Amino acid sequence: MATTSEDVQSQLSPNTLTLQWTFGLASNPTCSVYQLPNVDATTKARKLFYATSHTAVIRSLNDHDKQTLLQGHCHTVSSTALSPSGRFLATADHGPQSLLAVWDTQAEGPSVSAVTFDTFDGRYLATLGHDEEQTIYIWDWTTSAQPIATITVSGPRQNIIRFSPTDKYEISTTGNGGCSFFRFSPPSTLTQLIPAMDSNNPNQTSLNFSIPGYATNPPTALSGTTHGQIVLWKSAAATDQPKTILKVVKIHRGCITGLETLPDGSIVTSGSDGCIYVHDDKMRVIWTLDKLSCGPIDCISLIRGSEMTEVILATPSAYVYSLDLAPSTSRLAPQPASRKDAKLTSVKSMVNSKSSTTPQLRELFKGIAKKSSVVVCWPATTNFLVGHGAGVQIWDSSSRRSICSRTFGAITTQLPKSPSNNETMEKEEVTSACFSADGSSLAVGFSNGNLRFLQPSNLLDQPSPSTFSASKTHIQMMTFSPDGSHFAVADASFAVALFKKQVNGNWEMLGRCRAHTKDVVGVVFVSDKDSGSRLLSVGSDRFLAEYDVAQSTVSDGLRLCQFFKIEQTARPTAVTVLPDLQDTKGPSRLLVATDAHKLRLLDIEGHAWRRTVLGPPIPGKVAWMELLPPVQGSSLRYIIFRSDRKYIGLIKLPLDGNPYRTATVLAHPSAISSCSVSVDGSRVLTCGLNDGAVHLWKIDYGALEIRAASGGTGVYPFLELVDVDPAVRQAFVKEAEDFFYYCQILEQGEDTTEKRYVSDRISLEQVSNFMRALGYYPSEQDCEDLIREMQFGDLEYGGQVKEGFTLPDLIRLFVNYRPVAEVAEATLNLALETADTMHPSHHIDEDGTLAVSEDASIRRESLIALLQKHGEVMTREELDNALEHLTLSDAKVSRSSKWARAEFIDKVLGMEKFL
């Protein structure tokens, strides 16, 4: 699927989230930046082709900057190639079910490490596998979707593949441990020729190869090395014999990253030393460009179809430049008649003109270079901040330009226990950032626990004191209060710190409090009409902590005023504040996502769950949520979320668990490190943890409304979650109806002789019976939560208190409350091992771990001790009765004081699938 940024602006997208722009850049010898030929002679637009993240990009650099996004990969694009004509593009990724795609730039509209076109007509395409056992495939991609030749690579691992420009049936590869050549004999034979090395010559055996290439006159294979050498290979008399080293020439002071041949036979090399050299066909340097001041060079490519080609080069700092090697036409000598003289004159003119006209780098564009740790939108502007490594940048999302940047250096610290009192350098790496609601304040947190307050306009420090040592571990998250008067952070040691803004505008740290025993998953301020702002934190330890903002001072520190458990078994993973959408003066509630794939609405005052629904249908867990701003001209509200893996999505409010009211998209090929929404709610920015890309997505609320309407109404969308088979769903509904009416029989008495009444509702008392009959066994706390939601849930949306419940109501709650996944065998075994350690006679091994019985048995006393300590309140008599009822069919098992693990799973729990 290819979309342009203009398409996004001018057409109604069918997708709820559409990629509008990407700020990343992947640049290396297998993913070069190419300039496409200009097929329209009336325009001077320059088009570049490159890859970033799991997307290939065609970028038009003219008065109206535009990106055409080539989407379809699920994994990071690992290799790109351009056909000789410049019309066709190839992209490949590596990962499960990897994709090799060929794109037509003039059209409307196993894993792979590297890919290349043959340099004659582009008919053949070669791919180099990324798997442990590497494979090379040859594709005649114009006629078949299947490879026509394949071979398993022998020897060291290879990284780059390239066709010979003078022999379309020869392929060369390079890798750190060696290089290889391959001979393709149509229609389907592929042979590997490992070059002969002199094992007694350490200069040959120590070569680490970085990139392959070719000279054209005479045809000679070349290989660049990581130490700046060029190896010239001598061909054997027969094509089926291996090549040998002709000579080795030292060129660069660092790794050779580019090796390209110009149309006149000259050779251009680039290196990590930041230099570009032009050589004749015997690899003699005829032009040195060592003062480019661009830093190390990642890759170079040539512009097709010109006598003296421009060079496109990219750097690790994500700058893309053009370097025009062609001398001024006024300095060119008359062209001779012979082709050989023409080549020599072309080289001579370039050499003679270099003293008076030195090629200048022209910056084409700048991307985001490094792996980004955080992205934050600047309120009231189109700007956003990106943090990566030890630096931050401010970008304008409209002009797609970097406005300003700042790098934070290492800090000198003292080693307290060092006898010589040596100094050590501690690097500051950005881990989090946050703007205040009005955009006037910016806070940046670091991996060493430091916190800086910066001026958003220029990233300079705010008036002193602007830097605080908020923790000894890295800052994980931070937030400003709605009025900007307070600021809170949570760190990796499970502590929360509070700051207060003074009258003069400076910040003051009030104190820290470590209330949690596991990671803090959310720190939020909740507006309160009486106390102003309330500060809450939720941890994966299942506890919620509230801090007394008003009574916290520098002398007293951060005071804890409430601390209570909110979950029994699931662990919270993300938190956000959800205000009362019906009454703006009503109390706010907390929306909590859990690792049980549920979204739960918590009443802060009553410490009770008000609603429980299924979370979004994504792999992994929800790691971040935020309420989107109101949609202009509408009362509808939405929540945006990201997962702990690679997905982002939208959920329509009110929450009900309907899967059609949720839309998700694969935003990055790997985990997402951060996500932020523009102040108007029309766009969202995401940054990948490992792909070094920042994506700008356009939100289309209308598309989500269409999706929500397509799922149907009432109970029908929820029945699809029961089973994908319509026959199974029909059987489920029939069974639910039977249980529903049997519950009415229980209400009226099974043995009554009075007239029975059939109703469309059952009472509160029968709800737990109905759920257990369908196979969901809620705890007593779950039953209370379920009944509370059924009885009072409609009050939040202007409804009435319910006393009876219909079958569709019960099916909806059954789908939302039941566990998403069955108990895993590993989880069950771990629980049984834990139960065994609860026995009074258990001991601790020498390594400090609790000993587990050798016979893998479960003792009755251990099990009861575990349930009494961690389960809901039950007396010993109730627990014994429960065990007896579970084993009624076997009196021996019922009276036993110890069970073998397999026996316990089978006879007591009745779970045969693990046996």
| CB of 586 closer than 8 Å to CB of 580 | yes
Beta-bridge partners for 476: none
User: Strand, coil or helix: what is 768?
Assistant: helix
User: Strand, coil or helix: what is 205?
Assistant: helix
Report residue 330's pLDDT band, with 50, 70 and 90 as the boundaries. Answer: very low
Average pLDDT in the chain: 84
Residue 57 has pLDDT above 80, yes or no: yes
Q: Which residues of the chain are in CATH 1.10.238.10 domains?
A: 716-817
The reported pLDDT for the residue numbered 884 is: 84
Phi, psi of 308 (to 5 degrees): -115, 100
- How far apart, in Å, are the Cα atoms of 226 and each of 175, 299, 355, 476, 589? 10, 14, 30, 38, 58
- How far apart, in Å, are the Cα atoms of 427 and each of 39, 450, 474? 49, 11, 12
Residue 415 has pLDDT above 60, yes or no: no
CATH 1.20.140.10 fits 716-817, yes or no: no
Burial class (CB in 10 A: 0-12, 13-18, 19+), 324: middle
Separation of alpha carbons 835 and 909, rounded Å: 14
Number of C-beta neighbours around residue 365 at 10 A: 18
Separation of alpha carbons 461 and 639, rounded Å: 34
Residue 250 has pLDDT above 70, yes or no: yes
For residues 439-448, one letter each, b for 16 or more C-beta atoms within 10 angstroms of the residue's C-beta and e for the rest, the string is bebbbbbbbb
Report residue 848's pLDDT band, with 50, 70 and 90 as the boundaries. Answer: very low
Range 40-67 average pLDDT: 81
- HSE, side-chain direction, 13 A CA sphere, residue 578: 27
**Alpha helices, DSSP H, located in 751-851:** 767-774, 780-792, 807-817, 825-837
Report residue 512's pLDDT band, with 50, 70 and 90 as the boundaries. Answer: very high
The reported pLDDT for the residue numbered 896 is: 82
pLDDT tens-place string over residues 543-564? 999 999 999 999 999 999 999 9
Give the dihedral of Cα atoms 255, 257, 259, 260; nearest 10 deg: -160
pLDDT tens-place string over residues 634-643? 889 999 999 9
The reported pLDDT for the residue numbered 412 is: 46
Instruction: Spell out the residues 6+ positions from residue 135 whose beta carbon is closer than 8 angstroms to its own.
Output: 110, 129, 150, 151, 152, 153
pLDDT tens-place string over residues 863-901? 888 888 888 888 888 888 888 888 877 777 777 888 887
pLDDT tens-place string over residues 228-245? 999 999 988 888 888 999
Lowest average pLDDT, out of 34-38, 146-150, 421-425, goes to 421-425
| CB of 643 closer than 8 Å to CB of 621 | yes
- HSE, side-chain direction, 13 A CA sphere, residue 687: 27
Enter the tokens of residue 135: 């494979």
Residue whose structure tokens are 């149309």: 263
| CB of 364 closer than 8 Å to CB of 321 | yes
Burial class (CB in 10 A: 0-12, 13-18, 19+), 762: buried
Burial class (CB in 10 A: 0-12, 13-18, 19+), 370: middle
Enter the tokens of residue 531: 């106390």
The reported pLDDT for the residue numbered 308 is: 53
The reported pLDDT for the residue numbered 763 is: 87
Tell me which H or E stretch contains 225: strand 219-225
The reported pLDDT for the residue numbered 182 is: 95
Residue 668 has pLDDT above 90, yes or no: yes
Q: What angle do CA 407, 410, 411 make, to 5 degrees?
A: 125
Lowest average pLDDT, out of 311-325, 521-535, 841-855, goes to 841-855
Range 496-517 average pLDDT: 94
Number of C-beta neighbours around residue 352 at 10 A: 14
CA pseudo-torsion sign 351, 357, 361, 362: negative
Beta strand ranges found along 416-474 (DSSP E): 423-426, 430-435, 442-446, 450-454, 467-469
Range 285-312 average pLDDT: 81
Separation of alpha carbons 455 and 807, rounded Å: 58
For residues 137-165, one letter each, b for 16 or more C-beta atoms within 10 angstroms of the residue's C-beta and e for the rest, the string is bbbbbeeeeebbbebebeebebbbbbbbb
**pTM to 2 decimals?**
0.85
CA pseudo-torsion sign 463, 468, 474, 475: negative
pLDDT tens-place string over residues 785-836? 988 888 877 766 666 777 788 999 999 999 999 998 887 778 888 877 877 7
Separation of alpha carbons 304 and 310, rounded Å: 9
pLDDT > 90: percent of the chain: 43
Beta-bridge partners for 265: none
Report residue 343's pLDDT band, with 50, 70 and 90 as the boundaries. Answer: very low
